[in-house]
């Protein structure tokens, strides 16, 4: 009888601890997400053209991106918020544990991406040309004109054009490393056509 009571006590204690664990984790995620939202906007939808939306990205893409920032494999852009405080993603990611990264990636993957198409000016002629180029060079890895998170390649359609422009420049200069399959196709895109693709993406 005494053994049964001890076993029951152990099971109840374990159950209570397991029940409390998600609450603690949720609180940590909320705290980290609040800090992320200071630059990336409420729920990961940015109101600054220099800073990308991260809402709705796949958890895998976000996790991979954060790990790349943490290791330094992906360069972080230095950014000043409204209070004049400077930060960059390399420094931010270095402060995150592996569990933090997994949790925050899952958090933003459940948010809804809000397109900036109606907030930025696009040239119809460039959009038309950019759509043709994108379909020819990019659609294999960026489904539904870069709006499908399931391809684990980020969300490009409806993203801020200023942010996209800077990323194109980083890829072109070699400052940001490209996947091998992207590198071959990117090299075949003329620099004058970057803007057409950016306008097409910004219009989605």
Q: 129 and 197 in contact (C-beta within 8 Å)?
A: no
Lookup result for tokens 């895109």: 189
* pLDDT confidence of residue 28: 87
> Which residues fall within 8 angstroms of residue 186, CB to CB, at 6 or more apart?
137, 171, 172, 178
How would you write the pLDDT of the chain (204 residues) with one tens digit per residue?
444 434 333 333 333 333 433 433 555 899 999 999 999 999 999 999 999 999 999 999 999 999 999 999 999 888 776 677 777 899 999 999 999 999 999 999 999 999 999 999 999 999 999 999 999 999 999 999 999 999 999 999 999 999 999 999 999 999 999 998 899 899 999 999 999 999 999 999
Say how far apart CA 107 and CA 101 lie, in whole Å.
10
Say how far apart CA 106 and CA 125 lie, in whole Å.
38
* pLDDT confidence of residue 95: 94
Kindly state the tokens that stand for 152.
Answer: 């684990």
pLDDT tens for each residue of 79-136: 776 677 777 899 999 999 999 999 999 999 999 999 999 999 999 999 999 999 999 9
Q: 204 and 145 in contact (C-beta within 8 Å)?
A: yes
- Which domains are seen in the chain, by residue range? 2-109 (1.10.760.10), 117-202 (1.10.760.10)
* pLDDT confidence of residue 22: 41
Kindly state the tokens that stand for 89.
Answer: 């993603």
Q: 155 and 116 in contact (C-beta within 8 Å)?
A: no
Q: 90 and 76 in contact (C-beta within 8 Å)?
A: yes
* pLDDT confidence of residue 82: 66
Residue 40 burial (10 A CB sphere; 0-12, 13-18, 19+): buried
Longest alpha-carbon distance in the chain: 83
Say how far apart CA 26 and CA 31 lie, in whole Å.
9
* pLDDT confidence of residue 141: 95
Q: 162 and 92 in contact (C-beta within 8 Å)?
A: no
* pLDDT confidence of residue 69: 97
């Amino acid at each position: 009888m005494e053994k049964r009571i001890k076993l029951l006590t152990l099971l109840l204690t374990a159950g209570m601890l397991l029940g409390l664990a998600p609450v603690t984790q949720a609180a940590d995620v909320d705290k980290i997400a609040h800090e992320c939202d200071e630059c990336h906007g409420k729920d990961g939808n940015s109101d600054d053209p220099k800073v990308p939306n991260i809402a709705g990205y796949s958890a895998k893409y976000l996790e991979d991106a954060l790990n790349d920032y943490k290791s330094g494999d992906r360069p972080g852009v230095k950014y000043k918020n409204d209070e004049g405080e400077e930060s960059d993603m390399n420094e931010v990611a270095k402060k995150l544990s592996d569990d933090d990264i997994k949790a925050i990636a899952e958090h933003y993957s459940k948010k809804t991406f809000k397109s900036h198409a109606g907030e930025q000016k696009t040239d119809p002629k460039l959009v038309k040309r950019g759509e043709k180029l994108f379909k020819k060079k990019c659609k294999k890895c960026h489904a539904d004109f870069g709006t499908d998170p399931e391809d684990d390649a980020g969300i490009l359609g409806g993203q801020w054009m200023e942010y996209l422009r800077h990323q194109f420049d980083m890829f072109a200069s070699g400052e940001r490393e490209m996947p091998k399959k992207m590198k071959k196709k990117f090299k075949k895109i003329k620099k004058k056509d970057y803007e057409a693709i950016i306008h097409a993406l910004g219009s989605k």
